[in-house]
């Protein structure tokens, strides 16, 4: 029996929807169709052979029975996962925080935040990079730079990259401001 993730998860109590469909990269360009499993494994093997001497994989391997090559291989197959987002402190004003919880099996390198009018809109109201917490590797904070009037249906896109360059894109649509 095959299990599939839904294309859309809704939580009406909290007033947001999460879409699992990755269609665009961090520059807004449409992504090519997904690679086959064989292509992904071949790419992961090539990456692992190249990256096994990277200090981060060496450091992680020193604390576990798994080799740096295996860690790099596994890291290449996975991508960052969004754990949650807190926009309670954001009322649409300048200088307010949006906190993002995101993790990867090795390390998240970069998190970009884009705020759009609604899910189907190409109009980006604000965009920028979040910065990581010094104490919690899963916590990233974005400080808003633009005054935005929140309306029902606005969405926040989270784009995260890890060390091998895997891109994770999550869109949260908010039903009400």
Query: Residue 139's pLDDT is what?
Result: 96
- The count of other CB atoms within 10 Å of the CB of residue 3 is 4
Residue 158 and residue 82 in contact, taking contact as beta carbons nearer than 8 Å: yes
- Counting as low any pLDDT under 50, the low residues of the chain are 1-21, 177
The pLDDT score that the predictor gives to residue 176 is 55
Distance CA 163, CA 142 (A): 20
Distance separating alpha carbons of residues 5 and 12, to the nearest angstrom: 19
Cβ–Cβ < 8 Å for 131, 141: yes
Q: How far apart are the first and last CA of the chain?
A: 40
Task: Please give the structure tokens belonging to residue 28.
Answer: 């807004």
| pLDDT value, residue 17 | 42
Side-chain-facing half-sphere of 18: CA atoms under 13 Å? 14
For residue 75, the surrounding DSSP H or E stretch is helix 68-77
Residue 158's pLDDT is what?
94
Beta bridge partners of 73: none
CATH number of the domain at 15-28+79-174, please? Answer: 2.60.40.1220
Cβ atoms within 10 Å of 111's Cβ, excluding its own: 21
pLDDT value for 15: 43
> Each residue of 108-158: pLDDT tens digit?
999 999 998 887 878 889 999 999 999 999 999 999 999 988 888 888 999
- Sequence spans of domains, the chain: 15-28+79-174, 37-76
């Amino acid at each position: 029996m095959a299990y599939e993730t839904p294309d859309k998860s809704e939580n009406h109590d909290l007033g947001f929807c999460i879409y699992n469909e990755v269609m665009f990269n961090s520059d807004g360009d449409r992504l090519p169709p997904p690679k086959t499993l064989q292509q992904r494994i071949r790419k992961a093997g090539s990456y692992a052979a190249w990256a096994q001497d990277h200090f981060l994989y060496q450091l992680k391997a020193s604390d576990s029975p798994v080799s740096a090559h295996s860690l790099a291989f596994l890291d290449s197959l996975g991508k960052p996962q969004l754990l949650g987002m807190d926009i309670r402190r954001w009322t649409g004003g300048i200088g307010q925080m949006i906190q993002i919880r995101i993790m990867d099996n090795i390390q998240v390198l970069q998190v970009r935040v884009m705020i759009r009018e609604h899910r189907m809109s190409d109009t980006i109201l604000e965009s920028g990079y979040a910065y990581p917490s010094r104490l919690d590797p899963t916590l990233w904070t974005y400080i808003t730079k633009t005054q935005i009037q929140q309306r029902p249906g606005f969405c926040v896109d989270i784009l995260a990259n890890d060390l091998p360059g895997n891109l994770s894109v999550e869109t949260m649509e908010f039903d009400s401001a």
